[in-house]
């Protein structure tokens, strides 16, 4: 079950669990080898943010494999399962290309607030050598812009309270939306988009693959 991966926060970094469920709550065990997007950029890199295509699947897996600790990061299998689920939104699986190679990835997948369709963000990963160079932030902005352009009402995640507000995320409880696991409430955040209606409230739930970990 997803809940067994919720761990307390440390200052060392966070993984998809802290960034959407990048994550449930920041992780003190397995984590990205550096905090994606945290702190000032050491230097800027030229990049292209685009939709994932079928030829990127292996490269995306390699990004998550290198971005997160462990020999077999959970994020690799999670993305694979999400791709084959009803929750997958191909238009919102984005890669960052640097010097012609895939260097980062983020995906938004179907979730619900009661009976309303919404989106969940995560996982998000960036190659260790390019973390803190703006790649993660670029992926975040592109993902949120894409969701808004599709008239989605909101994007939710479980994440670092010092990081995600810069992208417009607010506490879910402040707008009447609670995660289905009460222990997530303190790190549960939502980004309200143009189509959001204040009457939208209720219980948020991720797609099934998140609970199968």
pLDDT, mean over the chain? 85
CATH of the domain at 123: 3.40.630.30
Which of residues 177 and 71 earns the better pLDDT score? 177
Q: What is the pLDDT of residue 71?
A: 82
In the chain, how many domains are there? Answer: 1
CA distances, 176 to each of 69, 173, 190 (Å):
35, 5, 11
Q: What is the pTM of this model?
A: 0.83
Q: Residue 104's beta-bridge partner residues? A: 96, 126
Q: What is the pLDDT of residue 149?
A: 98
In whole angstroms, what separates CA 19 from the centre of its chain? 5
DSSP string spanning 152-210?
--EEEEE--TTTGGGGT-EEGGGGTEEESSGGGGGGEEEEE-TT--TT--EEEE--HHH
82-99 pLDDT, tens per residue?
999 999 999 999 999 999
Domain containing 207 equals 2-211
Q: What is the pLDDT of residue 136?
A: 96
* Residues 90 and 51 sit within 8 Å (Cβ to Cβ): yes
Q: Pairing state of beta strands 202-205 and 101-113?
A: antiparallel
* Residues 191 and 122 sit within 8 Å (Cβ to Cβ): no
* Residues 177 and 200 sit within 8 Å (Cβ to Cβ): yes
Token reading at 22: 């990048």
The yes-or-no verdict on residue 5 having pLDDT over 80 is: no
Alpha-carbon gap, residue 95 to 97, rounded angstroms: 6
111-168 pLDDT, tens per residue?
999 999 999 999 999 999 999 899 999 999 999 999 999 999 999 999 999 999 999 9
The yes-or-no verdict on residue 37 having pLDDT over 60 is: no
Alpha-carbon gap, residue 70 to 89, rounded angstroms: 27
């Amino acid at each position: 079950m997803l809940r067994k991966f919720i761990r307390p926060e440390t200052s060392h970094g966070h993984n998809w669990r802290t960034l959407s469920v990048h994550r449930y709550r920041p992780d003190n065990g397995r984590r990205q080898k550096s905090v994606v997007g945290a702190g000032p950029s050491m230097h800027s890199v030229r990049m292209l943010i685009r939709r994932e295509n079928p030829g990127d699947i292996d490269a995306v897996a390699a990004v998550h494999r290198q971005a997160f600790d462990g020999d077999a990061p959970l994020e690799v299998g999670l993305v694979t399962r999400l791709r084959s689920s009803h929750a997958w939104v191909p238009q919102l699986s984005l890669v960052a290309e640097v010097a012609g190679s895939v260097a980062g990835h983020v995906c938004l997948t179907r979730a619900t607030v009661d009976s309303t369709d919404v989106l969940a963000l995560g996982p998000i990963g960036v190659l260790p050598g390019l973390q803190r160079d703006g790649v993660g932030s670029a992926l975040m902005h592109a993902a949120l812009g894409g969701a808004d352009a599709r008239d989605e009402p909101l994007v939710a995640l479980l994440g670092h309270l010092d990081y995600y507000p810069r992208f417009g995320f607010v506490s879910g409880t402040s707008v009447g939306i609670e995660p289905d696991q009460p222990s997530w409430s303190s790190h549960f955040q939502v980004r309200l988009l143009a189509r959001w209606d204040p009457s939208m409230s209720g219980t948020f739930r991720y797609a099934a693959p998140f609970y199968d970990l």
